[in-house]
Amino acid sequence: MEETRLTQLGREARGFDSPEAAVLERVPNPHAGEAYLVRFTAPEFTSLCPVTGQPDFAHLVIDYAPGDWLVESKSLKLYLASFRNHGAFHEDCTVAIGRRLAGELSPQWLRIGGYWYPRGGIPIDVFWQTGPAPQGLWLPDQGVAPYRGRG
């Protein structure tokens, strides 16, 4: 396994201007080979509408079964925050985050649920996953209710 060099954890780390510029860091998984689930919840995710420039808000739930790597959580937080000034549609944001994490971590499995708050009266929920979940992996419900004034 390659050596890990963390540049953000335990140090002052400024935000990134764009998701492309953001650095996602990873650490070795001490339980590689074991099927278990890791969940990150970002209930205050924001990005910008690429047409109007107005803010869009989502509740993101990221579930993954790690392979050899875990995402370092501070770098994930900074990566997600880099979308605050990024203009993209809901579908693009959600799928791009899932693909970037899958590409960086090579997990056994990953899924992301993007539960977007309404714009123009219509909530848009976006779901993406890498494929079927490993057999025997416990998959709890993502816990976000269908839209009825989410809170």
Token representation of residue 132 = 């079927």
- For 130-140, what is the mean pLDDT? 96
pLDDT of residue 145: 81
Rounded to whole angstroms, the Cα distance separating 8 from 117 reads 31
The pLDDT, as a whole number, for residue 149 is 62
Angle at 101 between CA 54 and CA 151, to 5 degrees: 45
15 vs 1: CA distance, rounded Å: 29
Asked if CATH classification 3.30.230.10 holds for the domain at 26-129, the reply, yes or no, is no
Looking at every residue in the chain, the average pLDDT score rounds to: 91
Confidence of residue 127 (pLDDT cuts 50, 70, 90): very high
- Candidates 17, 106, 21, 88; CA nearest to 48 is 88
SS3 content of the chain, % helix, strand, coil (to 5): 20, 30, 50
Instruction: With beta carbons less than 8 A apart as the criterion, state whether 82 and 101 touch.
Output: no
Structure tokens at 144: 């976000």
Contact status, residue 94 vs residue 114, Cβ threshold 8 Å: yes
- Active-site annotation, residues: 49, 56
Burial group, residue 109, by CB count within 10 angstroms (0-12, 13-18, 19+): buried
Q: What is the pLDDT of residue 11?
A: 58
Stated as kind and residue range, the H or E segment containing 74 is helix 73-81
Per residue in 64-121, pLDDT (tens digit) is 999 999 999 999 999 999 999 999 999 999 999 999 999 999 999 999 999 999 888 8
pLDDT recorded at residue 96: 98
Whether residue 41 is predicted with pLDDT greater than 90 in this model: the reply is yes
**How high is the pLDDT of residue 1?**
46
What the block records as the tokens of 140 is 């709890």
Tens digit of pLDDT for each residue in 14-25?
777 899 999 999
